[in-house]
Amino acid sequence: MTVRVLHVAAELYPLLKTGGLADVVGALPPALLPLSADARVVMPGFPAVIAGLDNLHPVAHTGPRFGIGNPVIEFGTLRSNGTGVYIVRADAFYDRPGNPYLDAAHHPYPDNGRRFAMLGWAASLLAQGADPAWLPEVVHAHDWHAGLTAAYLKAAAAEQHRRMPPSIITVHNLAYQGVFPASLFGELGLPGGFFQVEGAEFYGQVSFLKAGLFFSDKITTVSPTYAHEIQTPAQGAGLDGLLRKRTHDVSGILNGVDYTVWHPSIDPAIAKPYWVDDMEGKAACKAALQARFGLTARTDTPLFGVVSRLTEQKGLDALLASVPEIVARGGQLVILGTGEPTLEAGLKRAAHEHPDAVAVELGFDETLAHSIIAGSDVVAVPSRFEPCGLTQLYGLAYGTLPLVHHVGGLADTVIDASLENLADGMATGFVFERFEITAVTAAIRRAFALFDRPDEWIATQRHAMKQNFGWEASALRYYDLYQRLAHHR
């Protein structure tokens, strides 16, 4: 049975990406297509998004809202795969270059509250039939940017005395909550009763994410373990009480990998293709990566790679503290990312002190990210917490063994190279249990030890590459959830 689903999000790969959210929103709609789900996306009309769509045409006007004129909802198709995409054309809010959330000084735009309230408002209009040619049966919001969607739907249902399409919110990272001053609430056009503890109020402020968690019919997270973790005080970010109260509505569905984009046998961004039965090309990728960063060309030592936001959440402070361990053992480290100034400075200092062994490039380059995943021997993802993580999944596909903390989706996807798991042929990487520098360095030492046993290393690589984290299984779980909600309605 066909089910029509509207995804509400701020990012969409390949048009606009700051993290894994874009990969999910870009991959899930086409993965749902074989299951007879008609999935479309609505997002802000950022310049990069508009440039990547074909056949854009207006379908509705929202009317004046949030202090700007008369925004238009337009519809087009994603040039790369034909996914239907609505944009909210509100140039006063969205026609800004660069990062969708931050200005040139890396500060959040002061009007972000109104900018993303507009996204939720426009999504609710589409759910009410703003496009005469298409009406969703389920609305699926992603992260805080889309958090007000369910609140607007609940308000419209009460005002119009009719049912609205059921809604889901997926938490990609509970740490980012879209919290704004209480003074914003009056501009949102929501009933006054929505600003309370049983609603959008969060310690005297407005939380877009809390609104989504409270008013949505179902809540999903991007891994089973993270679904449990966010219901604890340690990782609930102040929302664990609400999540425990709604525990029967919370589920974890692991993110998938788009293997048409991330697979070493077909990846045009890497030096030489390879696959599980012929790994010769991986050595060429390592040599090319060492040359790209000016590192000593070595095959006899492991090369550790990092593709990440450079933040403490991602555990890069612990990795920085472990650089002496890597260098002392003759290893190499390549890092690509941008983030907290102190971490950027510390990593650049390490590269300056060890130019033959450590290299850092600040920024993000999708092609270079592929080269690092393919050319490294180990991909380090030492996050303090990690809702799902995609980097470790890319590493598995490329035979680049992940080194991870046993949390969230990392715990769900990487099997430690313990003696027992190696003997059973189950190991796929290196897992440390406690977030401590000593635990990180111990995992690094185990990576060196396994690298010195080539037969076991290659066997572990091949087992990692045989893992299947494609979108098929995850898309089926989402489809089942959509079906249940649509049928219940």
Which pLDDT belongs to residue 271?
A: 98
Q: Which CATH superfamily is domain 280-465 in?
A: Glycogen Phosphorylase B; (3.40.50.2000)
* Pairing of β 84-89 and β 201-202: unpaired
**Given phi > 0 = left and psi -120 to 50 = alpha, else beta, which region is 173?**
beta
Q: How far apart are CA 116 and CA 335, in angstroms?
A: 32
pLDDT of residue 97: 84
Residue with tokens 């993303």: 116
> What pTM value is reported for the model?
0.92
Residue ranges of the chain whose pLDDT lies below 50: none
Domain map (residue ranges) of the chain: 3-256+471-488, 280-465
Can 3-256+471-488 and 280-465 be said to share one CATH topology? yes
Q: What is the pLDDT of residue 489?
A: 60
Q: What torsion do the CA atoms of 269, 472, 383, 353 make, to the nearest 10 degrees? A: -10
What class has domain 3-256+471-488?
alpha beta
Terminal-residue alpha carbon distance, the chain: 15
The pLDDT score that the predictor gives to residue 64 is 85
What is the per-residue pLDDT for 63? 83
Helix 148-160 × helix 208-215 angle, to 10°:
50
Token pair 């929505």 is found at 194
Contact in structure between 409 and 226 (CB atoms under 8 Å): yes
